Structures are given as structure tokens and as C-alpha cells.
Structure 1
């Protein structure tokens, strides 16, 4: 249960408690006799009858013995004759002054002999003699004969339980749709654009129903916008492929006819064409991954062999510089994966690390088995990434300010492709700065049982 449930429960409980307190206070003002006073008076008359019976049976000794038993229970009792002479223990002088008539009821604040409620009554005994009886009760609710607790006490308990149960039910009714909305929002934020609120919520005719319908409208609008964006990227990329191919053909014809003339410019043009062709290929790959048009082709795959082949290619490409590439891990580790897609993900991460690590430094690839699968860590010794930029590294076309100024050649698509591929395999990829300097990419993939 979330904090919203406890907040609603607290508000409802407080409001019920205030209503109960106000009702209880008004009832006290309107009633002639308070329920507790009535019960205490009944208890006083019962005790008086017992005290008179003890006096008739054993005289002064019987009354003292009866008063002593009641004192052990927290009550002070005094039996007097019709002339207010004590038949047991003497009445304290303070009470003699205060009790001028029978019956007399004193609240704890009015009782000068002690902070206790006092009840003084006149009783006609079975011997037709008049007796006066004074009872000082301990603070608390009175008990009826033969009952463990008072009726008024039970009513309070049942009332309190009823308030708690009803308040919890109201809080649950309010909190449940909010929990459903929270889960739907989280799934939508995680990329499940088909998430919609269920019909039992959109069909409601209240504020919750309005909120559910607005959520579905928002989801449809966002889904439509992202789908249009994906189609635009795909269509533009397809359209660019044709003129790009024609440019490559035209450049080849120029090289054949011009010989060595403008060789430097032709080399630059060829490099830019290849860079543009790579970018278009990455965009098409990203749109296919996001649209799900090409599902994974899973098969037994040795991750170690995959990484080894990729590292050999990268070492060959960087044989002219002083960057080193190291591997630590087992000699074999099998997964159920799409080898081609996984190769593409590892390649994007590894080439990104080699691109940003400086000369005379190293990139380390570590493979290990962890609790929730196998972990591949690619760590470089580059400048790292600002902490606030780490969550956005896997967004398409995102590049940090340092990367833009350095003009490393990337356009911010490779890591987005890697993240989508890893997610399709049921894994996750995260980035963090190393304490010793550089960036560490952690890829976790599930291992089949």
C-alpha cells in the first residue's frame, strides 16, 4: 500500500473521530443523565445492598470486611445509618462537609477528598431501616455484574472498529484505481506504448474515470506521434539510399576519368558518403528494432566466441595506435540469443569505448556470471560522462557536449541500438563513471535454465 492509501485513511479516520467527538459532546449536553453516571448509580445501589446485607449478618465486622474487599478493587465505600453515623469506617471530614443531601454526585474535580467520582445515596434496607451509602470509585468505566467489561466500553470498541474498517474500505476504494493508473504510467514510460487503462476504469462517471480516459487519449496521441516519427525516419532513410548510391557511382566515374586530379577532395567525399551510408543503416536498424518488424532469431550462442571475434576485428582496426584491448573471463559461456543482433550490440558498445579512450590506454572487457545472468563490462579510460548525462546516453541521437565539441564521428545512435537489442533479449545495459576515471558499460543478459 502506498502513501496515498495511508493519507486517505488518516483523513477519513480523523474526520470520523471529529464527527464522533462532536456527536458525543452534543449528546452529553442534551441528555439529562450521562450513560456512565447511570451505570455508576446502578453499581452504587448494588454495592449498598451488599453492604447492608453484610451489616445485618455480621454487624460492624461484616461491613468493615466488605469495605476492605472493595478497597482492594480500587473503591472506597462507607455505610451510614439514618443519622449519618458510620456503621463501618468513618467518613472523611472533607466528604462530611460536601455531602449535605442524598443523593449527591461529585465529579473527580469536585471531590475534595481525592480525584475520584463520588456517589452518595439513601437506601431502604430489608429491615425497613433507612441507610446512607457513600461510594468513591476508581477512575475508569463501570462494570456490570457478571460481565468482563462494561456495555458502554464494548460499544466504544465496536464503534472504533467500525470506523477503522469503514475508513480502510474508503481509502482502498480511492487508492486502488490510483495504483492501476500508476502501473499503467510506469509501463508506458518503460516503452510499452500499447498500455491502456481498462474498461472498468474508463467507464466510470467520476473524476477517476475522467483521468483514465485522459490517459488513454494521451497514450494514443503519443503512440501516433512516435509512430509517425519512426515512419518518417524510415522513409527518409530509404529515400536517401538511392541518391547516395548514385553519388557513389558518380564518384567512381570521376575517379576513373580524372586520375590523380583532386584526389584529396575525392577521398574526403568518399569518407563523407560512407559516413552518411553508415548513419542511414543505423537509423533503419533502430526503426526496425523499435517497430518489432524483425523478431529475434534465438539459437545457442557462445558469448565468449562472439566477443573474441569482435575484439580481433577491433584490434586489427587499431593496430596503428597504442590503444590496448584486454579480456577477462571464462573460455566459454552459452546463451540463447540472436548472435547477429548481439554482435551488433557488443560492437556498438566496444567501438564507442575505443573511440573515447585516449592513446596509450586500454579498454577492458570482463565477462562473469552473476545472480541474474551473465554480465559483460566494457570499461575504458576516457574522460567519462557528466553524471546528469548518464541516464540519456541510450537515447537516440543524444551526444554529450564534450562529444560534440570533440567531433569523434558518432551521431548518438549506436548505444540506442545496443540498448534496444539488449532489452529484446530480456537484459539491461547501464552506464556509470569509474572511480579511477573512464566509463563502464554493464550489460546483463539472462542465462537459460
Structure 2
């Protein structure tokens, strides 16, 4: 049982039910104890009934006396037996063994005797009006008699009331925690301005927890926004000097000897990599500042992926790598074409970068459970399972287990950009290792956006 509300409910209800039943039992036991302690009074009452039975026997005979004794059984549930001095039952009734036992005890004591049989008080009292005669029997057990259907219904009603109150209490205790959990999930999903205001107004421990979360969230938001601003500002400031450096290199190349052209080419390549890195940083910073695609429009997603596959085939051909496309035709989607192109291109280029020579990268588009599914698979070395959830983090690298097979080293931002682009469209990006080897990266876009022509 995973729900904290249900756990609290069961514990509260069990505690209340045990308390109700225990209280009832303790009360009944106290009543029975009092009943046991009133044995002398009960024997005196029994002696009065015995004297009455003897009186009727003397006046009207054994038949009338038997009617009186059986009447006691019917009306007040007292079972009675009248014994003479020889131990003979005067009315011819069958006598249980426990009655003969209490009778023997009374004769032995030469006085009244009492005990209990299955909770029923037993009595045997000598009769003053007829020496040697003893009236014996069993009184009703008030404790047992009161444990009736009405008592059961009262207990059942009390337990049901306890269940109702326990559920209300459990819901009231867990509702602010659920609200706080929902806010935490929004914050974890990227809504850095998410705060739990309602629970924070409480004066208890839950309110303190909500206020601590709000303070933590505000600090994290401040740090992350500062980091993003720093990356964006640094990237923007580097763009201009790098552009001037590129122009200067191009001008200098015209005046260098032929034997130095290799060094200048290396500098130009490194300059191009820096420009690519800065462009990716600026793009990621821009995406982080958005909460929805900037340029949403209906596009032919099938045609877009076909173009990306063709471009990937062109880029991989010089290095002996290809791109295979299995694209469902006629799938349209409302989104940002440039953003989705960038996301899928980054996945394809990343797959080409790690694919062995002579292998093919598979790109597919399908509709799955009402969602658009874009899948990019390579046949490279894959990624350690413990790293799969981290590869969409900016600058995260898994160099030890996944070595590049192309000279392009990338900048560690392509998967992060792909993940952010999918999130802006309300989708997800996941990665898994293929059983036959290689990495499969899947983009799932929500079902309320795509349409099939």
C-alpha cells in the first residue's frame, strides 16, 4: 500500500477500533466483576424463590410448584431445582452434573454455596422453612445476556464512525503534503518559480517544511538563473572577438608561406569548434528561458525527418557511415520546426559520431498509443546503464565506455538541447541500450498535438 493517506487511515482506524472494543470489554468485565462480588445478595434472592417454591408445594402440590419453577426459567431465566434431605429432586427434573456438584458443596458446608459455570452464577441455599431441603440452580449471567445483537450493532456503528473520522483526519493531514509534493514535481520539471504558498501559511511542522522548500527553491532559482545569465553573457561577449579573430586568420592566411598552411588550418578548425560551442550555449540558454515553443506552426513532420535523414546520410558518407529511414508518411505536427529539426539533428549527429565504420544509423517515425514516436538508434558501444539518465545534462560525457569514431568531438550540448526542445513541446526524451549493441534515443511527443493526415 503506497498511499500515505491510506496508511494513516488504516492506522487511525485500527487504533480507534481497538480502543472502542477494549473500552467495551473493560466495561463488561467490570460489570461481571461487580456481579461476582454480589454473590451473597444473589443467594439471598435465590433463597426467597426457593421458599416460595416450597410454599406452593405445600399448598398446591408438586405440579403447581413445578409450574412456578419453570415459570422462573421463562420469565427471568433462573433455573431452579428443589432437593429434599435425601438429595432427591422434588419435581422430577433432570439434574445437570454441575448442579449436583454445587449441591454436594452446600451439604458439605452445611450452608449456602456458590460458584460459576461458564459465566453463570450457581447457587445452593438451605431453606429455613423446611430443614434439610436445598434450593439449587443457576442465575442468568447478566454479562453474557447483554452481549446481544444490539451490543454488536452498537460496536459496529462505533467502528464505522471511527473509520469516517479517521479518513477525514488522514485526508486533512496528507492534503498539504500532497500539495507540497505536486509543487516539488513542478519545480523538478523545470518550473523554477513554483512555490507552495498555501501550506507555507500553516503554523505546524508541515508549514515549516513548506517554508523551507520555498526558501530552497528561491535560492536554487537564483543560482540557476545566475549561471544561465553568466553562460549567455560570456557566450555573447566571446562571439565578437572570435568573429574578428576569424577574419584576422583569413587575412593572415594570404600572407603565410605554403609550409605553414597546416598550422593555420588547425587554428581555423579550433576557431570553428569554439564558434559551434558558443552557438550551442546561446541556443541552450535561449531554450532555458522559454516555457513554450516560440514559433509554433503545423508542419509535415514526416518530410522534416526525411530531410534530416538525407542530411545525415550526406554527412556520414565520407566516413563510411549511413542513415536508414523508416518514416511513417503523412504525419503532421503543431510545433516549432527549427526547434524539432535541431533536436533530431543533434540525435542523428551524435549517433553518427559513435557508430563504427560501415554501420548505419536508424531513424524512424511512428504513432504509438496516440503519441508521435521518433527513434534514433546506433550500433556503437552504448552507454553504462548508470549513466543513461545523465547524458542529457549539459557537458556530460561518458568517454571511457563510449569513444567517438569521427573526428568531430562535439561540445557535449547536443543531447541537452534535444531534451530541452522535446520538453518545450510537452514531450520526453529517453535513452536505453539496445540488447544487440548500441544506443537508442526516443522522443515521445504528446498526443494532443500530433495529427495524421
TM-score w.r.t. the length of structure 1 is 0.79
CA pair 28-136 structure 1, distance change in 2 beyond 3 A: closer
In structure 2, what is the Cα distance between the partners aligned to 1:36 and 1:195?
Answer: 68
Is this contact kept in 2: 1:390–1:431, CA < 8 A?
A: yes
Equivalent in the alignment of 1:234: 232
> Mapping of 1:177-326 within 5 angstroms?
177-199=176-198, 201-292=199-290, 295-326=293-324
Q: Give the deviation of 1:63 after TM superposition.
A: 9.4
- CA distance in 1 between counterparts of 2:205 and 2:20 reads 29
Cα distance in 2 for partners of 1:29, 1:62 equals 35
Q: 1:47-62 maps to which residues of 2 (within 5 A)?
A: none
Runs of at least 5 residues in structure 2 that lack an aligned partner in the other structure: 126-133
Q: Distance in 1 between matches of 2:257 and 2:213?
A: 64
Deviation (angstroms), 1:400: 0.8
Segment drifting more, 77-86 vs 323-332: 77-86
- Counterpart of 1:430 in structure 2 is 430
1:342 & 1:392 partners in 2: Cα distance? 21
CA separation in 2, counterparts of 1:160 and 1:56? 55
Specify whether residues 325 and 59 from structure 1 end up closer, same or farther in structure 2 by C-alpha distance, changes over 3 A only.
farther
1:366 positional shift = 1.7
Answer whether contact 2:342 2:418 (CA < 8 A) is retained.
yes
Counterpart residue number, 2:367: 369
8 Å contact 1:117–1:136 — kept in the other structure? no
Deviation of the 1:410 alpha carbon: 2.0
Is residue 157 of structure 2 the alignment partner of residue 169 of structure 1? no
Between 288-297 and 189-198, report the one with greater CA deviation: 288-297
Cα distance between partner residues in 2 of 1:305 and 1:27 = 82
Residue 378 of structure 1 contacts residue 440 of structure 1 at CA under 8 Å; is this kept in 2? Answer: yes
Are the aligned partners of 1:298 and 1:336 in contact in 2 as well (CA < 8 Å)?
Answer: yes
2: distance between equivalents of 1:296 and 1:57? 110
Asked if the contact 1:78–1:88 (Cα under 8 Å) also holds between the matched residues in 2, the reply is: no
> Residue 194 of structure 2 aligns to a residue in which SS?
coil
Q: Which moved more, 1:190-199 or 1:402-411?
A: 402-411
Q: How many Å apart are 1:133 and its aligned residue?
A: 4.1
For 1:440, the equivalent position in structure 2 comes to 440
The alpha carbon displacement at 1:191 in A equals: 1.4
Q: Is the 8 A contact 1:363 1:380 kept in 2?
A: yes
Q: Measured at CA, do residues 140 and 298 of structure 1 come closer, stay the same or move farther in structure 2, by a change above 3 Å?
A: farther
Q: CA deviation at 1:92?
A: 2.3
Cα 1:149/1:344, change in 2 over 3 Å: same
SS in 1 for 2:268: helix
- C-alpha separation between the residues in 2 aligned to 1:385 and 1:195? 33
Kindly report which structure 2 residues correspond to 1:406-417, keeping only aligned pairs within 5 A, or say none: 406=404, 409-417=409-417
The alpha carbon displacement at 1:378 in A equals 0.8
| Alpha-carbon distance between aligned partners in 1 of 2:64 and 2:265, rounded to the nearest angstrom | 130
- Residues 142-179 of structure 1 deviation map (CA, whole Å, 9 limit, x = unaligned): 259xxx7244x444334433433333333333222222
CA displacement 1:47-78 (0-9 Å, x = unmatched): x9xxx99x9998799799999999xxxxx984
Q: CA contact under 8 A between 1:63 and 1:79: conserved in structure 2?
A: no
1:418 equivalent in alignment to 2:418:
yes
157-166 or 295-304, which moves further after superposition? Answer: 157-166
Give the superposition deviation at 1:345: 0.7
Greater mean deviation of Cα atoms: 360-369 or 407-416: 407-416
Residues 352-403 of structure 1: per-residue CA shift (max 9 Å, x gap): 0111010011111122111131211111100000000000111111111337
**Distance in structure 1 (CA, Å) of the matches to 2:394 and 2:63:** 101
Matched residue pairs, number? 416
- Deviation of 1:140 after TM superposition, in Å, equals 8.8
Mapped contact 1:374–1:444 kept (Cα < 8 A): yes
Distance between the aligned counterparts of 2:7 and 2:270, measured in 1? Answer: 61
Aligned pairs (5 A) from 1:125-144: 133-134=137-138, 141-142=144-145
Give 3-state SS (helix, strand or coil) of 1:440's partner: strand
TM-score with structure 2 length normalisation? 0.79
Q: Residues 374 and 95 (structure 1 numbering): CA distance in 2 closer, same or farther, change over 3 Å?
A: same
- Given the superposition, is the C-alpha separation of residues 267 and 31 from structure 1 closer, same or farther in structure 2, using an over 3 Å criterion? same
Given the superposition, is the C-alpha separation of residues 210 and 35 from structure 1 closer, same or farther in structure 2, using an over 3 Å criterion?
Answer: farther
CA contact (8 A) 1:355 1:408 kept: yes
Equivalent residue for 2:346, pick from 337, 345, 348: 348
Structure 1 window deviating more from structure 2 (275-284 vs 25-34): it is 25-34
C-alpha distance 366-98 of structure 1, shift in aligned 2 (>3 A): same
Change (3 A) 1:17 1:307: closer
Contact conserved, 1:142 with 1:150, CA < 8 A, in 2? no
Residue equivalent to 2:399: 401
Alignment partners' CA distance in 2, 1:427 and 1:268: 40
- 1:324 is displaced (CA, Å) by 1.9
- Pairwise CA distance, 1:94: 3.5
